Chain A
Amino acid sequence: MVEPQTVKNILWLIPCLPLAGAVINGLLRRRLPARLIHIVGCASVFLAFLVSVSGFITLVRIEEPHNRLLIQSLYQWLLTVWDQGRFSLDVAFRLDPLSAALCLVVTGVGFLIHLYSVGYMAGDESQGRYFAYLNLFTFSMLLLVLADNLLLMFVGWEGVGLCSYLLIGFWFSDLEKAQAGMKAFIVNRVGDFGFFVGLMLLFWTLFEGSSGGITGLGFDQLTEAIPLLGSASPILGVGVATWIALLFFVGATGKSAQIPLYIWLPDAMAGPTPVSAFIHAATMVTAGVYMIVRLNFLYAIAPVAMTVVAVVGAVTAFYAATIALTQNDIKRVLAYSTISQLGYMFLAVGVAAFSTGIFHLVTHAFFKALLFLGAGSVIHAVHSNDMQEMGGLKKYMPYTYLTFMTAYLAISGIPPLSGFMSKDEILWATFNSHLSIPGLGKVLWALGLLGAGFTAFYMTRLVALTFMGNFQGGPEKEKHLHESPLVMTIPLMILAVLSAVGGAIGLPAVTHLPNLLHDFLSPVIGGHGSSGHEIHAYGLEVLLMVISTGVALTGIGLGYYFYLKRPELPGQIKARFAGMHRLLFNKYYVDEIYQALFLRPVLKLVSLSGRFDLQGIDGAVNLSSRITAKFSFLVGWEDLTIVDGAVNGLADIFKRWGAWIRQVQTGRIQHYLYSVVLGIFGLCVFMLLF
C-alpha cells in the first residue's frame, strides 16, 4: 500500500509527466522516428494515469472522508508582506475527491485518445507537433484540475485555451481551419476576461472587507473567506458574491460553450477528430462545470447567480439540441450535442446538484469521447464529414458500429446505460430544485426533458444516416471502406464498456444502493450538494424515470420512423416547414447576428481608424517630413555655400599666400646664407641708427 505522504510528494508528477512528453516531442519532433513520438506521447499520459490511480486509491483508503485531502506545495510563487499583513500564493497541487475524479477522467480518457491518435494521425508529417500539443493540453488541463488556488487554476484555464487554439488550427495551411482556431481563441478570450475580472473583484473585495486579513487565494482560504462577501456593500444593487459568481460564469460560458459564447465549438470541429473528442467533448469544455463545482461555496451564497446558471444551462441544452436536428456534418451534430450536454451539466450545478453535474461530466466524457472517436473512425474510412455521403457502414465497420451503438443508446438515455443514470439524476434534481423563482424548476425540467427527446431523435438520425441503409458515397468510395486498425478500435471498446457501466458510480436513490460518486465527492461539496437523495419520494422518482425513458424511446422511435421506415418523410417535412428548417439549419443565424452586432461595427471602426491612420496621422507625419525636408534642404544649401564657403575661402587664402611665400624656400644653401647676411646687416644698421 502506498503511504499518503508518498502520494502527496509525487502529486507534481501528474501534470509534469505530460509536460515532459510535450517538451520532448516538441523539441525533438523532427529528429525522433514516428514510433518513438507515439511512445513518448502515450506513455507520459499513461504514467500520469497510473499516478492518478494511486492517488485515488490512497484517498479512498483514508478512513475519515473529511481527511481525504492531499496538498503538495512546490514553491512560493508570490509573496507580499506589508505592515498590516501578508499575501502569498504557492504553486501547489491539491488532490481531493473532486480533483482525483477529474484526474482519472483526464488521464484515463486522455490516454485512450492518445492511443487512438496513433492510428488516426498515422502518415501525417507533423505528428511530433500533434503529440506535443496534445501532451501540453493534458498538462494544462491537469494543472487546471489540480491547482490549489484560483490564480494557478487560471494559468491552466488559459493553457487549455491556448492548446485548443493550437489544435483546432493544427492544419493551419487551410485558411478556414486557421480561422476556426482564431475564432475559438477570441471567443474564449471574451469569457476569460469575465473570469479574470471576477478574480480581481474577488481579491479586491476580500482584501478590503477583511482589512488585509486575506492571506492567499487557496481554496481552503477562500472557503473561510467567502462568507465575508455577504457583508460587502452591493454594487449597483446586486451583491458582490453574485457579481463574482456571474463573472466566473461568463468565463465558464466561454470555455464550456454555453449561450451566448457557444459559437466557437461547432467551428472547432476543424481540428483533428481525436482532438474534438478529447478537448472539445471530454475535458476542456467541462472546465467551466468543474470550476463552478470547485467554487460551490461561492455559488451557495449567490442564489441569483445559481438561477442564471441553471436557466442558461437548460436553455442551452434545449437550444443546441434543436440545431443538431438539421446539421449534415457528423462532427457538427456531435458538437451541438456536446453543447447541449454541457447545458445539462450547468443545469445540474445551477440547481445545486454539484455531484450530479460531475457525474454527468464523467459519463459524458465516456460516451461523447466514444461518439467522436467513432465518428473519427467513420471519417477515416469515408474521407468525408457529410452524413449524406455515408450509410450502410455497419457491415463494413462492425467494431465501430457496435461501440458507437453503445454510446448512442447511452446518450439517448436508455436505462441502465451511463447516460440515462446521469441525465435522469439531473432532471430529478431539477424537478425538486428550490430556485429563487418558484415553479422555475418545473419549467427547466420540461425544457431538459424536451431536449432529451430531441437528443434521442438527432442521435437516431445520425446513426440511421451513417450506419444504416445503403452507402451513398458512390461505388468508387465503397470499395475502399474498411474497419479502422486495432489501435483505434481498442480505445473504442474500452470506452464502450465504460459508457455502458459507468452509470454504476451514481445509482439512483430508488435502488437503495449507495451513490458512490456522491458520497465520494461529499467532502468537497459539503452541505451544498444534493442529488435528490435527501428526498425520499421514490414513487415520484420512478415516475419521472419512466417519463424520461418514454421520451427517449419516443425520440428514437420517431427517428427510426422518419429516417429508416419512411425516408421520404423528412424531405416532405422540410418542404412543409421550410422557414423553420432554414432557421435551424443556419443555426438561428446567430453567427450572422454576431457578425452584424459585433464584428461589423468593429470592422467599421477598424476601417475608420485605418483611414484616419492613413490620412490623418500619416498625412501629418508626411507633411511634417516634407517641411523638414524643405527646411533641411535650405540648411544644407546654407551649410554648403556659407559655412563651407567661409572655411574653404580661408583655406584658399592661406594656400595662395603659402604658394607665394614658398618661393623663398629655394633649397639652395647660398640663398639662405644671403638672407642670413642681409638679416645681420639689417640688424646692424638698425642697431647703429637707433
Chain B
Amino acid sequence: MSYSLPSFLIVSSLLFCLGMFTVLTRRNAIGVLMGIELILNGAGLNFVAFSRFLEPTQTANLLSGQVFTLFIIAIAAAEVAVALAIVLVLYSQMKTIDVEDFKDLRG
C-alpha cells in the first residue's frame, strides 16, 4: 500500500496542533516540554514527507530535507536536556513546576 503526501501532512499537522494545544493548556512544566516535542516531531515529519514526495529523483534535495529532520531531533534532545535542567532548578527554588506560578518576568 502506498501513502500519498496529504496523509503525511495531515498526520504532521495533527501532531503539531496537539503539541501546540498541550503547550498552551498544560500547567505542568514537564507537560509543556512534552508538547514541544510533539510540535518538533510534527515539523520533522513534515520535512521528511516533503523531501520524499516532492522531488524523489533529486538526491540532493532528498537528503537536505532528511538532514533537517536529523538536526531537529538533535536540537530537540539538547533542548529537552536544558529545559529539564531549568525545570529541576525551578523546582528546587520554588517547590513547584506549575507554569502558572512562574510570573517573575511580569512587566
Using a CB–CB cutoff of 8 Å, the interface residues on chain A facing chain B are 662-670, 673-674, 677
Q: Which residues of B contact A673 (CB under 8 A)?
A: 23-24
A-B CB proximity, top 8 nearest: A665-B107, A667-B106, A667-B103, A662-B107, A667-B105, A668-B103, A666-B106, A670-B24
Q: Which residues of B contact A670 (CB under 8 A)?
A: 23-24, 32, 99-100
A665-B107, A668-B106, A670-B32 given. 6 additional CB < 8 A pairs?
A664-B107, A666-B103, A666-B107, A667-B107, A670-B23, A670-B99
A676 to chain B, nearest CB (A): 10
CA separation between A662 and B106, bound complex, in Å?
8
A668 touches B107 (CB 8 A): no
A665 touches B24 (CB 8 A): no
Interface magnitude class on chain B: 10 to 19
Q: Return the chain A residue nearest B23 by Cβ.
A: A673
A674 to chain B, nearest CB (A): 6
Q: Which residues of A contact B102 (CB under 8 A)?
A: 667-669
B99 touches A669 (CB 8 A): yes
Q: Which residues of A contact B23 (CB under 8 A)?
A: 670, 673
Which residue, of A663, A665, A670, has the highest number of chain B Cβ atoms within 10 A?
A: A670
Q: Which residues of A contact B32 (CB under 8 A)?
A: 669-670
Checking B24, B99, B103, B105 against A677 with a beta-carbon cut-off of 8 angstroms, the contacting residue is B24
CA separation between A668 and B103, bound complex, in Å?
5
Q: Which residues of B contact A677 (CB under 8 A)?
A: 20, 24
Q: Could you list some 11 contacts between A and B, CB below 8 A?
A: A662-B107, A663-B107, A665-B105, A665-B107, A667-B107, A668-B99, A670-B23, A670-B32, A673-B24, A674-B24, A677-B24
Interface string of B4-35 (1 = CB under 8 A from A): 00000000000000001001100000001000
Q: Which residues of A contact B107 (CB under 8 A)?
A: 662-667
A10 to chain B, nearest CB (A): 95
CA separation between A674 and B23, bound complex, in Å?
10
CA separation between A668 and B102, bound complex, in Å?
6
CA separation between A670 and B36, bound complex, in Å?
12
CA separation between A664 and B107, bound complex, in Å?
8
Q: Which residues of B contact A663 (CB under 8 A)?
A: 107
Report B58-107 residues with CB < 8 Å from chain A CB: 99-100, 102-107
A17 to chain B, nearest CB (A): 90
CA separation between A669 and B29, bound complex, in Å?
11
B20 touches A667 (CB 8 A): no
Q: Which residues of B contact A669 (CB under 8 A)?
A: 32, 99, 102
Q: Which residues of A contact B105 (CB under 8 A)?
A: 665, 667
Q: Which residues of B contact A674 (CB under 8 A)?
A: 24
Which residue, of A663, A669, A674, has the highest number of chain B Cβ atoms within 10 A?
A: A669
CA separation between A504 and B89, bound complex, in Å?
123
Q: Which residues of B contact A662 (CB under 8 A)?
A: 107
CA separation between A668 and B32, bound complex, in Å?
13
Q: Which residues of A contact B99 (CB under 8 A)?
A: 668-670
A667 touches B104 (CB 8 A): yes
Q: Return the chain B residue nearest A668 by Cβ.
A: B103
Q: Return the chain A residue nearest B35 by Cβ.
A: A673
A516 to chain B, nearest CB (A): 115
CA separation between A674 and B103, bound complex, in Å?
15
CA separation between A673 and B32, bound complex, in Å?
11
Q: Which residues of B contact A666 (CB under 8 A)?
A: 103, 106-107
CA separation between A674 and B32, bound complex, in Å?
13
Q: Return the chain B residue nearest A669 by Cβ.
A: B99
CA separation between A666 and B102, bound complex, in Å?
10
B106 touches A665 (CB 8 A): yes
Q: Return the chain A residue nearest B100 by Cβ.
A: A668
CA separation between A673 and B107, bound complex, in Å?
16
Q: Return the chain A residue nearest B26 by Cβ.
A: A670
A664 to chain B, nearest CB (A): 7
CA separation between A673 and B104, bound complex, in Å?
16
Q: Which residues of A contact B104 (CB under 8 A)?
A: 667
A675 to chain B, nearest CB (A): 11
Q: Which residues of A contact B20 (CB under 8 A)?
A: 677
B39 to chain A, nearest CB (A): 11
CA separation between A664 and B106, bound complex, in Å?
9
CA separation between A662 and B105, bound complex, in Å?
11
CA separation between A674 and B102, bound complex, in Å?
16
CA separation between A496 and B107, bound complex, in Å?
110
Q: Return the chain A residue nearest B106 by Cβ.
A: A667
Q: Which residues of A contact B106 (CB under 8 A)?
A: 665-668
Q: Return the chain A residue nearest B103 by Cβ.
A: A667
A325 to chain B, nearest CB (A): 110
